[in-house]
A = this chain, B = another copy of it.
Amino acid sequence: MTATTNPQPGPITIGVFDSGFGGLTVLRTLLDRFPNARFVFLGDTARLPYGSKSRRTVSRYAAQSARFLVEEQGAQFLVIACNSASALALEAIQQAVPVPVLGVIEPGADSARAASTTGDVLVIATDATTRSHAYSAACTARGLRAFEKACPLLVPLVEEGWTNHPVTTQVIRIYLEELFNEAHANGLTPDTLVLGCTHYPLLRPLIEQAVREFAPEGFRVIDSAEATADAARALIGNTIPPTTLNQDQEKKQIQCFATDSVEKFERLGTSFLGRPTGTVQLVDLGG
């Protein structure tokens, strides 16, 4: 481990953490809200998937990752752009580092609360996130009724690059038809759908197209990535004055780290981030 480097004074450094690289969709929305910030992103690709691991193990991995971003990369604010880590380890991360930490689930639920009129909300996510019922709990705490569905084929379809493919259209149609039917059979009148996985923003056009088939006019699709970036904006606010990046800082605005699979990260990362990830540095967190 190298010595702590805190880049202050200068632009704020925001750390973004995921078990893989799906969280780059969250980084993408953060770049919109904080055009002058510096970002350090860590994908703990050597130890993914987190979803099948115990709370204790995920907490240990996530806390190590958070400490890397704060102690070694000088992050002054941390975004947990990973549904499993947000669901299982938010508290452990908050205890591990002395900076504010924001997960993706609470902002997603807040956004659903603001959008929904009927109070009935649908959530699509991975199998692991669904089994954790973290979105359900966060929605219930806000007086909403939530109905969750696991859509395990969507992540592999995105990773295959089939984000605008007839097969993906068909799979989304099948999942959403089942979801709407099950929700109606359970007496819900949903008017909001939460995308509870960091891969799903890449499927948003296809998801919105399918939603129009099964839902009334005015049905809302909420992206947890967008909601999280908005929440970060609200939290950080104007306490840190906007700084204009100099040319050197702009080049170094994003630095990505991964614990394994750098090749896949670099290959797929660009479509998640909406711009090149740059060289991804391999980092060893042990364990």
Nearest CB in chain B to that of A287: its residue: B287
CB–CB A52/B261 < 8 A: yes
Q: B45, B53, B152, B261: which contacts A160 (Cβ < 8 A)?
A: B152
A interface secondary structure, majority: loop
A159, B152: Cβ atoms closer than 8 Å: yes
What are the interface flags for A47-74 relative to B under an 8 Å C-beta threshold, 1 for contact and 0 otherwise? 0100011000000000000000000000
Task: Please pick, from B46, B152, B159, B166, the residue contacting A53 in the complex, using a CB distance under 8 A.
Answer: B46
Q: Which of B45, B52, B171 contacts A167 (CB 8 A)?
A: B171
Residue A260 at the B interface, CB < 8 A? yes
Docked Cα-Cα span, A261 to B52, in Å, equals 7
A160 and B153 form a contact (CB under 8 A): yes
Smallest CB separation, A280 vs chain B (Å): 15
- In the assembly, how many copies of this chain are there? 2
Q: Does A115 contact B (CB under 8 A)?
A: no
Chain B residue contacts of A160, Cβ below 8 A: 152-153
Q: Which of A235-269 contact B (CB under 8 A)?
A: 260-261
**Closest chain B residue, CB of each to CB of A159:** B152
Cα distance A99–B166 when bound, in Å? 50
Produce 1/0 per residue, A165-185, CB < 8 A to B: 011001100100000000000
- In whole angstroms, how far apart are the Cα atoms of A15 and B261 in the complex? 31
The contact of A45 among B46, B48, B52, B157, by CB within 8 Å, is B52
- Which interface residue of A152, A157, A167, A261 has the most chain B CB atoms within 10 A? A167
Q: Confirm or deny: A156 has a beta carbon within 8 angstroms of a beta carbon on chain B.
A: yes
Query: What CA separation (Å) do A81 and B174 show in the bound complex?
Result: 33
Partner of A170, one of B46, B48, B167, B174: B167
Q: A167-B170, A170-B167, A171-B167 are in contact. Are A52 and B156 (CB under 8 A)?
A: no
- Most chain B CB atoms below 10 A, which of A45, A53, A152, A160: A160
Bound CA–CA A177/B207 (angstroms): 28
Residue of B with least CB distance to A127: B264
